[in-house]
């Protein structure tokens, strides 16, 4: 038997199967510093211990998307090593905050399987949960990917697509109990715009652009212990479809979120990930821009200090966003669009 892990093929997944992913990971101040250096994120809550304490936390929590990438990374060797496409996310919820020193582990449940007509691939839906060392859930989300079959001739399982919510309901959003924005200092946070200043339908051009280098996305993706080969192996990719290493889509999410500080500087805490599409690949040398549309606004149950905004975060490459480029008349993404992310975020009222 080969000692090398070939990854799972479509035939290896069983509906209802639970997968305990490898490599528990202690997230440290080192990971946090590197994340800041890779993204340029400036949100005060994750930058400053005293600022976090002024909001009731013991210290600065780890950036929500850093948590996401760490959990996601663990799933790759089991779920998507033989994936040909990352198709979507749904029902993502950020629960217990993660602090430096906490250790994340991840498990996934197979909640859907559907072979494609070609017989060469199938779609695998997993609900992944990342938990800390005390067993508290830090993050849960659904992801679906198109995975190669080992053998096109093998029998298809009974097709089952899970019933997924188009968005996390505002009523289900929850902030950590300790996190209280009553004494929020917007000046220190770097933006005067609070929850009530945003209007549904409003669009914000985040203005700045960030060029990505090979070393940067590779550092990020290795830090997450994400083993997807397309991000790292130029020898093989030079012979592949793009001739280039692909940048991990999660790095685009993090860059777009960091760019969104300019316009959303008080959007301190991600609450939920409703959905997302990696509309086109990003390559080293490309420059990422971003804009946001406010999709919805909601109160948070029992909270007068803070509210939620549902946002569409769109990232483009080599194309500033002053005109809020998105889809064409047929509904196809403009070729410059690389990310379409739908999420809920908390802002002080």
| Residue 155: CB minimum distance to a second copy, A | 26
Buried/exposed 66-92: b ≥16 CB within 10 Å, e otherwise: bbbbbbbbbbbbbbbbbbeebebbbbb
CA nearest 123: which of 148, 105, 141? 148
| Residue 141: CB minimum distance to a second copy, A | 21
| Residue 267: CB minimum distance to a second copy, A | 11
| Residue 345: CB minimum distance to a second copy, A | 14
Tokens of 230: 């397309």
| Residue 233: CB minimum distance to a second copy, A | 4
Q: Which is nearer to a second copy, 177 or 187 (CB)?
A: 187
At residue 339, the 3 state secondary structure works out as strand
| Residue 286: CB minimum distance to a second copy, A | 8
| Residue 231: CB minimum distance to a second copy, A | 10
Tokens of 84: 């040909």
Contact indicator for 271, 65 with CB cutoff of 8 Å: no
Contact indicator for 12, 147 with CB cutoff of 8 Å: no
CA-to-CA dists, residue 343 to 108, 269, 339, angstroms: 21, 11, 12
Q: Which is nearer to a second copy, 264 or 279 (CB)?
A: 264
Contact indicator for 131, 74 with CB cutoff of 8 Å: no
Q: Which is nearer to a second copy, 89 or 232 (CB)?
A: 232
Alpha carbons 101 and 206: distance in angstroms, whole number: 33
Alpha carbons 315 and 320: distance in angstroms, whole number: 9
CA-to-CA dists, residue 177 to 50, 64, 96, 135, angstroms: 18, 16, 9, 18
């Amino acid at each position: 038997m080969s000692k090398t892990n070939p990854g799972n093929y479509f035939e290896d997944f069983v509906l209802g199967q639970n997968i305990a992913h490898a490599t528990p990971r202690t997230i440290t101040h080192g990971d946090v510093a590197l994340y800041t250096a890779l993204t340029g994120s400036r949100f005060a809550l994750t930058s400053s211990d005293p600022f976090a304490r002024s909001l009731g936390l013991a210290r600065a929590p780890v950036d929500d998307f850093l948590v996401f990438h760490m959990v996601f990374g663990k799933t790759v060797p089991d779920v998507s090593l033989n994936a040909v496409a990352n198709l979507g996310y749904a029902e993502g919820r950020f629960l217990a905050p993660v602090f430096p020193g906490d250790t994340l582990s991840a498990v996934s449940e197979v909640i859907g399987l559907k072979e494609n007509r070609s017989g060469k691939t199938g779609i695998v839906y997993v609900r992944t949960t990342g938990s800390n060392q005390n067993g508290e859930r830090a993050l849960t989300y659904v992801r679906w990917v198109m995975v190669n079959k080992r053998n096109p001739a093998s029998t298809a399982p009974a097709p089952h697509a899970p019933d997924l919510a188009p968005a996390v309901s505002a009523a289900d959003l929850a902030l950590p109990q300790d996190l209280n924005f009553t004494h929020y200092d917007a000046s220190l946070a770097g933006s005067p715009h609070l929850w009530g200043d945003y209007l549904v339908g409003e669009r914000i051009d985040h203005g700045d652009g960030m060029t990505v280098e090979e070393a940067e996305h590779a550092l990020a993706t290795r830090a997450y212990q994400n083993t997807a080969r397309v991000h790292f192996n130029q020898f093989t990719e030079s012979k592949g479809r793009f001739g280039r290493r692909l940048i991990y889509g999660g790095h685009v999410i993090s860059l777009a979120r960091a760019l969104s500080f300019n316009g959303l500087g008080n959007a301190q805490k991600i609450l939920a990930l409703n959905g997302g599409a990696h509309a086109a690949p990003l390559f080293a040398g490309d420059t990422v821009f971003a804009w946001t549309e406010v999709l919805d606004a909601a109160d948070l149950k029992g909270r007068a200090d803070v509210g939620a905004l549902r946002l569409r975060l769109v990232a483009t490459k080599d194309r500033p966003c002053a005109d809020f480029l998105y889809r064409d008349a047929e509904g196809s993404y403009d070729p410059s669009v690389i990310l379409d992310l739908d999420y809920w975020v908390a802002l002080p009222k």
